[in-house]
Structure 1
Amino acid sequence: MKIACHDLVDRMIEQEYPSLFSLYRTLHQHPELSEMEEQTALTLSTSLETAGYTVTTGIGGFGIAGVLDTGPGRTVLVRADMDALPVLEETGLSYASTETTVDWNGRSVPVMHACGHDLHMTILAGVARVMAALQDWWSGRLVLVGQPSEERVSGAAAMVRDGLYNTVGTPDALLALHVAAEYPVGTVIYTEGVSSAGAESFDLKIFGVGGHAAHPNKAIDPIVIAAETILLLQTVVSREIDPQAFAVLTVSSIHTGSKHNAIPGEVELTLNIRFFSPGVRDHLISAIERITASVARGAGVPEERLPMLTLLDESAPPMICDPALAGVVIPAIRAVVGEEQVIAVPPSSGSEDFGAFGAVDPPIPICYFRVGSVDPNSTHPPAFLHSGKFSPDAEGVIKNGVRAMSIALLALLGEERY
């Protein structure tokens, strides 16, 4: 039975690949930024509808959900993220993106699928076709989700808040995959337990008293305050967090001033933190608040002008891969792709908001894995995610991604037959 099912999946993939690659080219050529995925959502929802799924659109923005119900059994949700990045494509591909758009700050920017979300959507469409064709092999409810705004780590929570589970039912399990830019095609990479970091982003505004550069004694220079603050913040992880714990604190931008001979009245900074545990998160935030206020007070800034720290709606909890769920999914994939091709790795410092789909009451178990994207015959080192030169082996990723996710779903929805 196992070999017959595997063969059926592979036959379907080969049959559908030309059409899937055409879909991939379309998605790659016409990327859209987070919260702007209107045409992308339409393209993906049309593909799911054509495969026989009942599709609901406009969930949490441009989110979509396609449902195929074949009878009694589990409900399993598979997610693909849809948004692209403000990155200039430099791959040289014949179907490279030349799109530009106006971003959230009113700036004209290039747009590119530099994180593989075009591949994720294509794989979702392929899985939709395989699972529809193999309905006799499984029973249950399959929910395929196109998620907006993953790059701003806000789309998953927005879909849940907007009633996703009222529309499609509460899943018994959640699955997602991502391209792995550092592993060869054919490999599957996973982590049990905490698999990726939680993340928070902040805006920090430091106030001073502006003045003439020739008379600094008549001003309170916020640039000096900001410089001291930045250096002290770098001691938080090295001197306040347990060395055995994971933490990152990054000051990612600083903006101020407009004239060589003028001291500005304020400085705007952006900050980002990464963590594996809620306790570390809380400590980092408390330390940022303490240090920014203390440095400002030491410079003579009055209480009503102390720094303002704003937490953005771009938060992701640590993502936890459920061991029991992985205990079904990973062995099924390993049986098909081979023992040496399935690789367990330590947790990643990167973040992703897929975990928000499971952060409900009661929590829903998650299994998240990655598929290798590097052409093993390439003589050039691969470009990493978010690079304008990111150019994965599309055929290998699509075929292996559809295979791995379809096998995972058959293991969950058709265990007695698979």
Structure 2
Amino acid sequence: MVNKVQLYRFLGLSACVLLSSTLNAQPAEVNSSNLPAVSQKAITIIDGQTEWLSKVYKDIHEHPELGFMETRTSAIVAKELKSLGFDVKTGIAKTGVVGILKNGNGPTVMYRADMDANTVQEATGLPYASKVRVKLDDGTETPVAHMCGHDAHVTWMLSMAKTLVALKKEWSGTIILVAQPAEEPITGAKAMVTDGLWTKYNLPKPDYFFAVHTTPAPVGVVINAPGPRMAGTDQLDVLFKGVGGHGSLPMLTKNPISMAANAVTQYQTIMGNAVDPQQAAVLSIGSIQAGNSNNVIPSTALVKMNLRWFDPKIRETMLNNIKFMSDGAAEMQGMGKDQLPTFTFKGSSTPVVNNKEFSARLNGPLKALLGEKHVLTEYPAVMGSEDVHHLLGDQKDIPFNFMFIGVADPVVFANAVKQGKPVPYIPHSPNYVVDLKALPVGAKVTTVSMLELLNKK
């Protein structure tokens, strides 16, 4: 018989979420009776924030911004934190915000919320759906929408800040709240560090650092397990160079589109031939850009790809094969050594790894809050990626934990399962929805987690 863990490993996150469908089609009943008195008070305060949470969330959702463009969102964060008495630092890596609240002796705990949205046309039909379009640096226009839940992350962080300030007499320590830009391109965390997060802005060193992310599991479900949680990633561009010309005279040209097409076909053989098929790795082609006319052969072709990996040796194997195959595709068309493809690395991140003891410590109060079966502590690492841990820079000794909070309407989730779907929608899809019932639940999860780490008075 295949046990649950083996099934998780075989089917991945979808199985983990699907197995959570064995829960009732109703959201978890938040129960504070087994929590410390200060956490019980926090839950009561958050219950009184329902209307405010919805207002803040809808406003951010309706006004999404792409990475390093989050001027409106960061202004909302800075204004709210300043009004609560935080020492606020703005403009870190253009739009990053940090709020520091010192409240006596005790642990220093850091928490991050990412702010950026996606280049996706929203199709949820919600009355507060995004209608935003922006012009990119290359002159093209794109729709923008929060289809990954970063709007909920910001809302949860602001609720946590309000609640903890209201309870200042009940705890002691230092809180560091980080509103990070540009998580989607996997560049924002490193940019904040490069801009002096730990030097110019004089942040105190945290004793703990944690963050959360939405997931299309039912509202009331939290997924939090130790060890590797998310894959490392590289965003890689390969530029093929050719000789352009008239479409009727292909013998006088060297077609970079043919080079790109040949290379892309070869890339697909890396998985299974160069990389052991039992190793977790992904190579995805996201875009091929070349030319704009039927009868003109262009002089360049750009291939945009994404790699996912856990083992750095697997990453090296993938990159070596990509270069070998790309160069070979160009050489087959007669390109000289000085005209071989060029490689541009953009965003990158190492795998996300949860500290075992830290993860277990947070799961205690979360189980008391949501119920034992609503906190999933065994699930496989997923091929998605994050740059959150890079906010720590070179500080490798700080315990870190990253958890997922369910945001799907339990009834919608149950109906999707009945239809044979693992989840009702996936992140970055036009139909990704954060159910409004998830707003107070997520705020309670993050606030109770923070209070677990601070000194109680």
Give the TM-score band, short-chain normalised.
over 0.9
Question: Which moved further from structure 2: 355-364 or 58-67?
Answer: 355-364
1:393 corresponds to which of 431, 435, 439: 435
* Alpha-carbon displacement from aligned partner over 1:279-334 (angstroms, at most 9, x marks no partner): 2222211111111112322332111111111112x112211111121121122211
2:215 alignment partner AA: A
What are the residue-to-residue correspondences of 1:1-400 with 2, within 5 Å?
A: 2-166=35-199, 167-181=202-216, 183-312=217-346, 314-343=347-376, 344-378=378-412, 381=416, 382-394=424-436, 396-400=437-441
Give distance in 1, aligned partners of 2:152 and 2:239: 39
**Amino acid of the structure 2 residue aligned with 1:317:** T
Distance 1:258 1:126, change over 3 A: closer
Paired residue type of 1:132: V
Tell me if the contact between 1:191 and 1:321 (Cα under 8 Å) persists in the aligned partners.
yes
Return the alpha-carbon distance in structure 1 between the equivalents of residues 92 and 224 of structure 2: 29
1:7 Cα deviation after fit: 2.2
Shift in Å at residue 376 of structure 1?
1.3
User: SS of the counterpart of 2:410?
Assistant: coil
How far is 1:340 from its partner? 0.1
Note if contact 2:223-2:405 (Cα within 8 Å) is conserved in structure 1: yes
Cα offset for 1:264?
2.8
Q: Secondary structure at the match of 2:198?
A: helix
Q: Is the 8 A contact 1:84 1:112 kept in 2?
A: yes
Question: 1:117: how far off?
Answer: 0.9
With 86-95 and 285-294 compared, the bigger mean Cα shift is at 86-95
Deviations 1:362-405 (A, max 9, x none): 443210101111111337643321122222212x2211111111
Larger mean Cα displacement after TM superposition, 252-261 or 333-342? 252-261
1:229-260: CA deviation from partner (whole Å, max 9, x where unpaired): 11111111211112332111122211223333
1:6-55 alpha-carbon deviations (Å, 9 max, x no partner): 42121110122222221112111111111111111011111122222221
Give 1:146 deviation, angstroms. 0.7
- The answer on whether the counterparts of 1:191 and 1:347 sit within 8 Å (CA) in structure 2 is no
Q: How far apart, CA to CA, are the structure 1 residues paired with 2:352 and 2:374?
A: 23
Verify: 1:412 aligned to 2:426, yes or no. no
| Offset of residue 101 of structure 1 | 1.9
Distance 1:101 1:257 in 2: 23
Q: Which amino acid aligns with 2:315?
A: R
Deviations for 1:71-122, whole angstroms, at most 9, x for unmatched residues? 1221111100111122222222222222222223222222211111111111
% identical aligned pairs: 34
Contact 2:53 2:440 in 1 (8 A): no
- Whole-Å Cα distance in 2 between the matches of residues 124 and 109 of structure 1? 28
Let me know the Cα RMSD of the aligned residues.
Answer: 1.8
Change (3 A) 1:213 1:25: closer
One-letter code aligned to 1:253: S
SS of alignment partner, residue 263 of structure 2: helix
CA distance in 1, matches of 2:443, 2:209: 16
Native 8 Å contact 2:255 2:299 kept in 1: yes
SS of residue in 2 equivalent to 1:122: helix
Q: CA distance change for structure 1 residues 45 and 387 in 2, over 3 Å: closer, same or farther? A: same
2:73–2:115 contact (8 Å) kept in structure 1: yes
- Alignment deviations for residues 57-79 of structure 1 (CA, whole Å, 9 cap, x no partner): 11121110111111122111110
Kept in 2, the 8 Å contact 1:179–1:370? The answer is yes
Q: Please report how far the alpha carbon of residue 359 of structure 1 lies from its aligned counterpart in structure 2 after TM superposition.
A: 4.2
Q: Which deviates further from its counterpart, 330-339 or 143-152?
A: 330-339
SS at match of 2:269: helix
Asked whether the equivalents of residues 6 and 336 of structure 1 are also in contact (C-alpha less than 8 Å), the reply is no
User: Which TM-score applies when normalising by structure 2?
Assistant: 0.86
- Counterpart CA distance in 1 for 2:429 and 2:312 is 31
Q: Distance in 1 between matches of 2:140 and 2:242?
A: 28
User: Matches of 2:360 and 2:331 in 1, distance apart?
Assistant: 54
- Structure 2 gap segments, 5+ residues each: 1-33, 417-423
Q: TM-score, normalised by structure 1?
A: 0.94
Mapped to 1, the partners of 2:135 and 2:299 lie a distance apart of: 29
Q: Aligned partners of 1:191 and 1:3: how far apart in 2?
A: 23
Q: 1:99 to 1:299 in 2, by over 3 A?
A: closer
Aligned residues of 1:70 and 1:141 also touching (Cα < 8 A) = yes
SS state at 1:258 partner: coil
Which whole-Å CA distance do the structure 1 matches of 2:291 and 2:354 have between them? 46
Cα 1:263–1:104 shift into 2, 3 Å: closer
Please say if residues 177 and 370 of structure 1, whose CA atoms lie closer than 8 Å, have aligned partners that are also in contact: yes
Partner AA of 2:133 in structure 1: T
Structure 1 segments unaligned to the other structure (5+ residues): none
Misfit runs of 4+, over 6 Å = none
